[in-house]
Chains A and B, each alone.
Chain A
Amino acid sequence: MKFKKLNLVLILLITILVFFALYLGMKKQNLYTTDHIVNKKMPNLISTELFTGEETNLSELVAKEKFTILNIWASWCAPCRSEHKHLITLSSNNNSKIVGLNYKDKIENAKSFISELGNPYDHILLDKKGFISIDIGAYGVPETYVIDNTNNKIIKKYLGPIDEFILEEIINILNS
């Protein structure tokens, strides 16, 4: 009788534990988010400039401005075309510099993309093998980072193309 009671309590406890574990699992969001990147230091990027072919250091390029917008793009990426007009809008903001990171692209294609759609970038760096993108925690195109140059921290990261809402949010950050 004593054993039966003990069994019952144990079964009840384990059932509660299983349900608790399942409940926690259900609550956990099973999607990749960029939260862990926010407030992280931006690694120093050294790469070749698209037009000049010179080895360039990102931190030297943007030292004077309050913010940097780093946009990862490629000529073969369709959403990059759709966000391009918003980058052109952002390029008129005086508080920031826009740096493009051209991702695994052919140089001639990248150049013709820019000559066709206009150049919103102050500088364009090349990421031929995709290693620079990995170093900054990116995994595709397009992705956009807003970096605070005063402390070199990433304050916002956007996955996918910039739309009207994101544009407004970025402008608010730049004017803050």
Chain B
Amino acid sequence: MKKIFTLITFSFLLLILINNSVLADNKISKVDSISKNLRCLICQGQSVYDSQSEFAISVKDLIKKKIEEGNSDNDIYEYLKNKYGDWIMYEPELDKKTLLLWILPLILFVFGGLLIFKKAFINYNKNV
């Protein structure tokens, strides 16, 4: 009986430990993924994730705190954009200013594809 009780207690503790470690890992990876998409404003060329500046450390701590408070990734991005403007984001959002930036590669891709297709089609017709 004592052995069974010890076993149950041990399993229970192990479960809590594993659960806590998984949750902690998830939190860290979430902080990492968010901070990778943020520009470090005092060390340009580096993301908040890469930087060890006081600013970047504070932002990472704040992201962790906001995750613990139940904020979503989007809430955190919106909060930081509100404080520092769109410049803090590495990946620009689709809006009037960035429309060309987003659609230009698509246009080039479609146009290039059409050219290749046409060329291949003409070659095929010639061979036939």
Total count of chain A residues near the partner, CB < 8 A? 23
- The chain B residue with its CB closest to the CB of A7 is B115
Q: When the two chains form their complex, are residues A32 and B58 in contact, meaning their CB atoms are under 8 A apart?
A: no
Classify the interface of chain B: helix, strand, loop or mixed.
Answer: helix
Q: When the two chains form their complex, are residues B55 and A21 in contact, meaning their CB atoms are under 8 A apart?
A: no
Q: When the two chains form their complex, are residues A18 and B104 in contact, meaning their CB atoms are under 8 A apart?
A: yes
Q: When the two chains form their complex, are residues B59 and A134 in contact, meaning their CB atoms are under 8 A apart?
A: yes
Taking the nearest CB of chain A, how far is it from the CB of B48, in angstroms? 10
Any B CB within 8 A of the CB of A163: no
Q: Which residues of B are interface residues toward A (Cβ below 8 A)?
A: 41-42, 44, 54-55, 57-59, 61-62, 65, 80, 83-85, 87, 100-101, 104, 107-108, 111, 115, 118
12 A-B contacts, Cβ less than 8 Å apart? Answer: A14-B107, A18-B108, A21-B104, A36-B84, A36-B85, A129-B62, A131-B58, A131-B62, A134-B80, A137-B84, A140-B42, A140-B55
* In the complex, the 5 A-B pairs of residues with the closest C-beta atoms, listed nearest first: A130-B58, A36-B85, A137-B83, A139-B41, A139-B55
